[in-house]
């Protein structure tokens, strides 16, 4: 078996199917976003690999699904343990492969990945046979595993989002096929090593690498798939929904964001500005970031000065260095997309408050940027950039702030700073799947996560994840002898 050497970490470039590594005759090149150096060639998932993965998952499903949640839990706990044993490797791989900050991986992502597996394994214990008592009967509500599920994750957070979906899918008793992002597949490959070492039955967890147009398309259009969970772009989601819909396969779609960051006149401007600078983390490649700054006109000048001071202190550089706060854009194609948004906005009259150009550190780096004098209907305000580019608009009243906040086709998240009661009242009027008041990034696995409008369909987290990955069934047990009669329904 051939292995890649990435910063001293050995990782397979091949698929993981039925407990074994499987190579492909066709491969695609992988480069690091840090300095464009070649990382190796990755096996492309062809029709035979998709078929083998589906068959393997189908074969493993009867035994895995027959286990109780309590019986599956030790496997998943060991899976989390094996992720922890490889913590340094996961950190180095994703930093080299996707440009994610090494410090963020070490202190946030890897611990969260372990928790994703453990928490859902534990929560699954609470789901079975929940009784609903009525006068006539006891309703035993069951969450039965759906079958073979496909998980497709994006390149901005491969490890975290893979485990976020795999945790409930596996804990529910499904067998999974993970399709990693082609621009950053390596931590998903290492995840297969962790699952193998944990003793997951062959076929319970499979990894098939490849492009969305080739491998992904074959997976989501197969009638044997029971569920598709996807995080990514709106255009891709539309295609997935259409392909899966032909077989009436349910989809969970967590998509893009164009979230508002509202600064009310009674906000703590220093705290709001410090939080605002966080929107540049992962080079702005974060779907839930507040990218549209809506600032009350009375405090706009002071807020801009405060945030500028924070942005000027940001350390742009190599994500493998502990002090780095802003790393590279994932791919040359994405960099061109980001730069194009800014160039067109400036040509249309936008004013650059800071940034606005490529960064001198490296070929795939872009300056943290803020654009003002942008129209509500403009491309830069309405469409997701997915880079370190923010916009700033002012408002004169709460009603105007809410109108601007709700004035896009997206509705994923949001941030609202102000006196707590005031900010909470405004936040409740913003049409999003979630919104943070005087904070950012607070998450709990028991809480729902997802968007409205073009930001997605469905919710992930807590019971919501299991309701998607399970067939919910009501077992009705009468409390009195039942007498059949055509006069009663």
Active-site residue list:
165, 254, 287, 460
Q: What 3-state DSSP class applies to 452?
A: strand
Q: Are 385 and 338 in contact (CB under 8 A)?
A: yes
d(CA 433, CA 453): 9
d(CA 236, CA 222): 17
Question: Which has the closest alpha carbon to 57: 184, 164, 237, 207?
Answer: 207
In angstroms, the Cα distances linking 393 to 11, 270, 297, 372, 412 are 46, 18, 9, 6, 19
d(CA 312, CA 248): 51
Question: Which has the closest alpha carbon to 184: 80, 329, 384, 317?
Answer: 329
What per-residue string of b and e applies to 468-487 under the rule 16 or more CB within 10 Å gives b? bbbeeeeeeeeeeeeeeeee
d(CA 245, CA 221): 8
166 class by beta-carbon count within 10 Å (0-12 exposed, 13-18 middle, 19+ buried): buried
Provide the token pair at 414.
């949001």
As a three-state string, the secondary structure of 329-392 is CCCHHHHHHHHHHHHHHHHCCCEEEECCCECCCCCCCECCEEEECCCCCCHHHHCCCCCCEEEE
Q: Are 435 and 284 in contact (CB under 8 A)?
A: no
d(CA 339, CA 199): 46
d(CA 298, CA 400): 14
């Amino acid at each position: 078996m051939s292995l890649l050497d990435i910063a001293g970490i050995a990782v397979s470039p091949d698929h993981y199917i039925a407990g074994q590594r499987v190579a492909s005759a066709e491969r695609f090149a992988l480069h690091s976003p840090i300095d464009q150096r070649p990382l190796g060639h990755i096996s492309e998932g062809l029709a035979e690999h998709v078929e083998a993965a589906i068959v393997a998952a189908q074969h493993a499903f009867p035994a895995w699904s027959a286990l109780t949640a309590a019986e599956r839990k030790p496997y998943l706990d060991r899976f989390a343990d094996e992720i922890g044993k490889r913590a340094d490797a996961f950190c180095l791989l994703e930093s080299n492969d996707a440009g994610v900050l090494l410090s963020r991986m070490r202190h946030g992502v890897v611990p969260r990945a372990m928790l994703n597996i453990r928490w859902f394994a534990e929560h699954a214990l609470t789901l079975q046979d929940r009784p609903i008592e009525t006068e006539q009967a006891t309703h035993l509500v069951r969450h039965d595993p759906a079958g073979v599920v496909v998980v497709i994750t994006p390149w901005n957070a491969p490890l975290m989002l893979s485990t976020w979906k795999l945790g409930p899918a596996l804990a529910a008793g499904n067998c999974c096929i993970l399709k990693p992002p082609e621009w950053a597949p390596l931590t998903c490959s290492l995840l297969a090593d962790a699952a193998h070492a944990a003793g997951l039955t062959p076929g319970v967890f499979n990894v098939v690498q490849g492009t969305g147009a080739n491998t992904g398309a074959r997976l989501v259009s197969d009638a044997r798939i029971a569920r598709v969970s996807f995080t990514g772009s709106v255009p891709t989601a539309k295609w997935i929904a259409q392909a899966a819909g032909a077989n009436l396969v349910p989809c969970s779609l967590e998509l893009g964001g164009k979230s508002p960051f509202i600064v009310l006149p009674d906000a703590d401007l220093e705290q709001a500005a410090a939080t605002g600078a966080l929107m540049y983390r992962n080079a702005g490649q974060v779907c839930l970031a507040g990218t549209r700054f809506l600032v009350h006109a009375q405090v706009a000048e002071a807020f801009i000065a405060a945030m500028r001071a924070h942005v000027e202190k940001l350390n742009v550089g190599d994500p493998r260095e502990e002090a780095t706060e802003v790393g590279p854009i994932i791919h040359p194609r994405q960099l061109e997309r980001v730069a194009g948004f800014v160039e067109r906005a400036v040509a249309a009259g936008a004013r650059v408050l800071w940034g606005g150009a490529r960064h001198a550190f490296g070929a795939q780096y872009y300056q943290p940027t803020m654009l003002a004098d942008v129209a509500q209907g403009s491309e830069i305000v309405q469409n997701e950039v997915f880079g370190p580019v923010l916009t700033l608009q002012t408002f004169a009243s709460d009603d105007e702030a809410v109108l601007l906040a709700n004035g896009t086709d997206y509705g994923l998240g949001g941030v609202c700073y102000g006196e707590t009661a005031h900010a909470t009242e405004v936040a409740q009027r913003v049409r999003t799947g979630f919104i943070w008041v005087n904070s950012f990034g607070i998450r709990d696995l028991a809480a729902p996560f997802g968007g409205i409008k073009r930001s997605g369909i469905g919710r992930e987290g807590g019971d919501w994840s299991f309701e998607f990955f399970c067939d919910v069934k009501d077992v009705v047990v009468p409390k009195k002898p039942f007498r059949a009669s055509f006069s009663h329904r």
